A and B are shown apart, each in its own frame.
Chain A
Amino acid sequence: MKRFLYELGESWKIAVAQMRSNLTRSTLTALGVIIGIVAVTLMGTAIGGISIGFDKSMAVLGDDVLYVTQWPWKVVDDWWNYRDRKKIKTEYAEMLNRMIEKTPNSNLIVAVPTSSVFRSIKYGGNQVDNVFVLGTTSDFIVTSTIDCKEGRFFNELESRGGASVVVIGYDVADALFPSESPINKSVLINGQLFKVVGVNTRQGTFLGLFSWDSMVAMPLGAFNKYFSTNTESDVRVKVKDKTKLADAKDELTGLMRRVRGLGPEKKDDFSINEQQAFKSTLDPIKNSIAISGLFITGLSLFVGAIGIMNITFVSVKERTKEIGTRKALGARRRTILLQFLIESTALCLLGGFIGLAFAYVMCFGIGKAFPSFPINFSAGLVIVSMLVSVMTGLFSGFAPAWTASRLDPVTALRYE
C-alpha cells in the first residue's frame, strides 16, 4: 500500500511536469472535458432546480390535506367512468364539518370548500388576464401554507358575510400596482369591485404549477354571487396527524359516502387525493427529463473523453523510447500503467475543475439575470462532477496506458 502511494505520488509529479511541457496540447485537450463538465454540471443544476421547483409547488398542496374531487389526480384509462360523476359541491364542506364535529377522535380537523374560475382583473389602466380566482372560507389558511406579505387573509366575518374582499397573489399585485400599495384599493373582477385586504408573499412560479403568485382568493359567498358559470369546486380536508393519512382517508371516504347517500353496493362516485398521489404522477416526468438531459450532455463529456484518449495514445506513441528507457531502468508494467492513467486523469481533473468554475460563474449569472429560474448549485454536484472527471480520465486513459505498459522493452528502446 505504501509502495502504491509512493508510485502514485511520483506518477503525479511526472504527470504535472508532462502537462506543463505540453501546455498548448494539454489545454486544448482539457477544453473538451471543460465543455463536457460545464454541460453536465449546468444540466445537473437545472435538474436540481426543477426538482426543487416541483417540491415547492407540491408544498403548496400540503402533505396533511386531502382533496375531494370528481376526477382522481392520476392518469386514468377509463375516463368515461369518471365523466358522469356528480360534481363536487361546496356545500359538502359544511356537511362534512358537522359530521367531523360529531365524530369522537376524528382524524380530520376541518373541511374547506373551494371554487375556482379564470377571470380578468383590472385596476386603473392595468389588467391581468386569466387569473385563477378562488372562492373559499377563512378556514382556507388552515389547509394551505399561505402567508401574507402585506395586509391579511380575509377573516371569518368577511367569509360568512360574503364580503367583496380579495387577497391577491404577488404577481397580480405587481402587475396591477407597480408603484403603490394595493391594500384597501378596489380592483375590478367581472365588472365587480373588490377591496384588496392582503397580498401574498412571493412563492416563485415553476412551469405554471400551483403558484399563489398569480391568483386571487375571495370569500365563497361573494364568489358564488358573482361567478356562476364554468366554476370548478373541490373540498379540501385538513388531517390531524399526517402519519395516519390512510386512516384519515378511510374516514373521509365514509363521510363522503354518507354525504352522497351511497348504499353499500354502490361504488365511490368521488375521488380523494393527496399530495403524494400527485407526486407519483409527476415523478416519472421529472425523472425522464433528468435522464434524457444527462444523457445528451453526457455525450459531450464522452466526446471530451475520446479527445483525452486520443491524446494519450499519441503521447504513448511519441514517448515509446522513453517508455523503453524507463522499463530498462526498472519500471514495472504497473508503474507505466499508473503513470499514463494519472496523466489522463490529471488532465480530466484539471478540465473538470475549470469546467466547474465556469459552470459556477454561469449559474451565478443566470441566477442574477433570471431570478425566477430555479437553479441549484450544490456541494454534492461539485463532488459528483469531480468524480465524473476522475472516472472520465480513468476510462479514457486505460486503453493507451495498458498499451504502454505492455510494450516490449527491446522494441520500445529501438523505436525512433
Chain B
Amino acid sequence: METRNSVRSVGPLVIDIENITKDYVMGEEIVHALRGVSLQIHRNEYIAIMGPSGSGKSTLMNMLGCLDTPTSGRYEFNGKSVAEMNDDELAAIRNREIGFVFQTFNLLPRSTSLRNVELPLIYAGIDPETREQRAAEVLTDVGLGDRIHHKPNELSGGQRQRVAVARALVNRPSIILADEPTGNLDSKTGEEIMALFEDLYQRGNTIILVTHERDIASHARRTVHLRDGLIESDHAGFIPEIDMATVG
C-alpha cells in the first residue's frame, strides 16, 4: 500500500470525450441523461466515477463501454471515433478494447469458469487451443487456478467475481470497466476484489470503477463526480469531504 498516493507518469490517451450529450425519450418526455460531459482518461489510470442515481453515471458508463452511442459530442477511443460506429463495429471495440465487470457477475450459469473466460476469445475468433491456454493462465492469475472446471454455482460470490475479472482481462483490453463490482458481495469479499483491482492497476491496467460507495471509490487515484448529467468535480485522489450521504 506504500504506492497508494505515489505520483505516476501519465500514459497515452485512451479515452477522449468532448461535450457528449445523451437524450432519452421516456413516453412524452425527453430525458437529458448527459448534458455535455468532457473527460480524458489515460493509460494506467485508476478512476472512479461516482454520483447518485439519476446523475447520468450509468449512461456515461454505457458510453465509455461502447454499449451505446452519444446523441451529440465527440468520443475517441485510442484515437478512433466511436460516436458514429454501427453495432458490429462497437461490438468489435467492446471485444478487444474493453473488459466488463458487472455487479451481478453475469456469468453463463451452465458453463465452467474456463468456458466463461473463453467467451471473449471466441468472439475474437481465436483458435481453441490458444483460447483454453490463455483462459487458464488468466484464471490462475486471479487466484482461481484450481477452480477452472467449476461451474458458477460451485463457486463463492468472490470467486465468481474473480472469474468475471478474468473474463474481462483475457483479451488484454485497453480498459477495465467495472460497474459496482462489489455491490453483490459482503464487505470482506469486496475488499478482496478491490485488492485484486489494485494488483491489476499496479501491473499496468487501466481501470474505470463506477460506484456510489465511497469506500470503494477511495481505492481509485482519481474521482469524477457526476450530478444531473454534468461533471460536478474531477479530482486526483479521493475527496472524502463531498457529501454522499444523500445516496442510499
**Closest chain A residue, CB of each to CB of B87:** A333
Q: In angstroms, how far is the closest chain B Cβ from the Cβ of A237?
A: 73
Q: In angstroms, how far is the closest chain B Cβ from the Cβ of A17?
A: 6
Q: In angstroms, how far is the closest chain A Cβ from the Cβ of B138?
A: 14
State whether B123 touches A331 (Cβ < 8 A): yes
Chain B residues numbered 118-174 whose CB sits less than 8 Å from any CB in chain A:
119-120, 122-125, 167, 171
Main secondary structure of the interface of B (DSSP, over half): helix
A10 within 8 A of B: yes
- Convert A315-335 into 0s and 1s, putting 1 for each residue whose CB lies closer than 8 angstroms to a CB of B: 000000110111111111111
Q: In angstroms, how far is the closest chain B Cβ from the Cβ of A324?
A: 8
State whether A410 touches B68 (Cβ < 8 A): yes
Q: How large is the interface on A (under 10, 10 to 19, 20 to 34, 35 or more residues)?
A: 20 to 34
B100 within 8 A of A: yes
State whether B88 touches A333 (Cβ < 8 A): yes
**Bound-state Cα–Cα, A328 to B87, Å:** 11
- Which residue of A322, A328, A410 is within 8 Å of B108 (Cβ)? A322
- Which residue of B67, B106, B119, B120 is within 8 Å of A321 (Cβ)? B106
State whether B62 touches A410 (Cβ < 8 A): yes
State whether A329 touches B120 (Cβ < 8 A): yes
Q: In angstroms, how far is the closest chain A Cβ from the Cβ of B118?
A: 10
Stretch from B70-78, B91-99, B220-228 contacting the other chain: B91-99
Q: Which residues of A contact B46 (CB under 8 A)?
A: none
A62 within 8 A of B: no
**Bound-state Cα–Cα, A322 to B111, Å:** 12
**Bound-state Cα–Cα, A3 to B120, Å:** 15
**Bound-state Cα–Cα, A198 to B70, Å:** 94
The answer to whether A328 and B110 touch (CB under 8 A), given A6-B125, A333-B88, is no
Q: Which residues of B contact A410 (CB under 8 A)?
A: 62, 67-68
Q: Which residues of B contact A193 (CB under 8 A)?
A: none
**Bound-state Cα–Cα, A402 to B22, Å:** 27
Q: In angstroms, how far is the closest chain B Cβ from the Cβ of A320?
A: 12
Chain A residues numbered 250-282 whose CB sits less than 8 Å from any CB in chain B:
none
State whether A17 touches B68 (Cβ < 8 A): no
State whether B91 touches A327 (Cβ < 8 A): yes
Q: Which residues of A contact B91 (CB under 8 A)?
A: 327, 330-333
Q: Which residues of A contact B106 (CB under 8 A)?
A: 321-322, 324-325, 328, 413
**Closest chain B residue, CB of each to CB of A325:** B106
Q: Which residues of B does A touch, CB under 8 Å?
A: 62, 65, 67-68, 87-88, 91-92, 94-96, 100, 102, 106, 108, 110-111, 119-120, 122-125, 167, 171
Q: Which residues of A does B touch, CB under 8 Å?
A: 3, 6, 10, 17, 21, 321-322, 324-335, 408-410, 413
Give me the 7 closest cross-chain CB pairs, A-B, nearest first: A330-B95, A330-B123, A325-B106, A332-B91, A409-B67, A329-B120, A332-B88
What are 10 A-B contacts defined by CB distance under 8 Å? A321-B106, A322-B108, A325-B106, A328-B67, A329-B100, A329-B120, A330-B95, A330-B96, A332-B87, A335-B123
